[in-house]
Amino acid sequence: MSRPRAPYRIIFICTGNICRSPAAENIFREHARRAGILHELEIDSAGTGDWHEGEDPDHRSADALCEAGYAADGRARGLRTADFAQHDLFVCMDRSHVRDVVARGAPRERVMLVRHFDELRDHDDVPDPYYGGRDGFTEMIAMLEAAMDGLVARVRADLERNRGTA
């Protein structure tokens, strides 16, 4: 199924959509703004589960984002069937999310791990900081930031290809 290519739609996925994926969404939004491509994008996040539907980001995640200079916007929601046809790229926080998103209907070639955009990573997953202390949220922010240049480059290449200029 083909759909119009503008705007490019990217969605970040974690478990409950209150810690990792809203952090990734806010960090990526700022990096896309700095790269001059934000106006070409729709950026969202969702959880594989919907039990936090409508909630703000976890206060510890929001605090870590703000301390790092990012917005802490967002409302939790669960991944919906319509998302599979609407999004160009599904960026997951860990391998369990990749399996879940693909099993639920997302095309495998559009599902990625965020850490795969960090060439210096020592593992593939962004661990869930929910049950830990403050350090887990600080480490989460650092892991996400380390992946953003690579993710921006991927999205920029996709935008150029969609324009026929790549």
Looking at residue 130, what is its pLDDT? Answer: 97
Residue recorded with tokens 């809203």: 22
Looking at residue 2, what is its pLDDT? Answer: 44
How high is the mean pLDDT of the chain? 95
Q: What is the pLDDT of residues 29-41, one digit of tens each?
A: 999 999 999 999 9
Sheet holding 111-113, edge to edge: 41-47, 8-14, 89-92, 111-113
Q: Which is the catalytic residue, given 19, 20, 115, 125?
A: 20
Q: Which is the catalytic residue, given 63, 124, 128, 158?
A: 128
Q: What is the pLDDT of residues 94-132, one digit of tens each?
A: 999 999 999 999 999 999 999 999 999 999 999 999 999
Mean pLDDT of 51-74: 97
Could you confirm whether 161 is annotated as catalytic? no
Could you confirm whether 118 is annotated as catalytic? no
Could you confirm whether 92 is annotated as catalytic? no
Return phi, psi of residue 135, to 5°. Answer: -60, -35
Domains and CATH numbers, the chain: 8-163 (3.40.50.2300)
> What pTM was estimated for this model as a whole?
0.95
